[in-house]
Amino acid sequence: MFQVFAKDRQSAQQRTPREALKQLDDSGVVAAHLAGNRLAFGELVERYQNRLLNFIYRTTGDRERAEDLVQETFIRVYRHLHRFDQTKKFSTWIYTISSNLAKNELRNRSRNPLVLFQTLMKNRDNDTRPLEWEDNTYRPDDLFRKRHLKSQVDAAVDQLPEHHRTVFILREMEGKTYEEIAEITATNLGTVKSRLNRARNNFAQLIAPVLD
């Protein structure tokens, strides 16, 4: 038994600092950062940057602006991580920050017709790009239907009211629990469930004609 323990200890010692960080949960990485580990914050960025980008992009509909807001999210996390309550989930905290930034972006956009026009033009250019047949195992007509359905799903989500769209994305696309959504959106659990139920019903009505 001692030999097994010694072997495991030796294996742990042979790990690089980055590999050792990857073995930790979020709380452990946060603690490592606060203890002065210079690699720890990069590990948090690696874990969350793509997830946050997808969340903010789906919420705002503007990929370039979403990339900016992801950077702003991590800047705020870096500045205020020492204030983070480590008894709570880090994922909920960072999603709360990014959700608030996305809300501010939508609020500012609604007051600026020029920004809205530029976003619409940018999305139109993306929609008119030629199809890319990235997977040869699919027939072209199957890929076309897949791409078309995805675009219709995205369009249906975009048509949901903002407060319904946010809870819908967090639950159906990000897999967040009701409790996490309530904390991220700063609403009570009953409101989250009510908004999500309405969002699901609205989405079903919007997408039904496409599936017929």
The verdict on 180 and 92 lying in the same domain is no
The verdict on 98 and 10 lying in the same domain is yes
The verdict on 13 and 91 lying in the same domain is yes
The verdict on 2 and 107 lying in the same domain is yes
The verdict on 105 and 156 lying in the same domain is no
Which token pair is 83? 């204030």
Q: Which of 62, 82, 112 is the last residue of a domain?
A: 112
Q: Tell me the per-residue pLDDT of 38-69, one tens digit each, with 9 for 90 and over.
A: 999 999 999 999 999 999 999 988 888 999 99
* C-alpha to C-alpha distance for 69 and 99, rounded to whole angstroms: 10
Mean pLDDT score, 140-145: 59
Q: Which residues contact 174 (CB under 8 A, 6 or more apart)?
A: 51, 54, 55, 95
Q: Tell me the per-residue pLDDT of 146-201, one tens digit each, with 9 for 90 and over.
A: 677 778 888 888 999 999 999 999 998 888 999 999 999 999 999 999 999 999 98
The verdict on 76 and 179 lying in the same domain is no
Residue 35 lies in a domain: yes
- Domain of 187 in residue numbering reads as 130-212
Q: Which residues contact 135 (CB under 8 A, 6 or more apart)?
A: 143
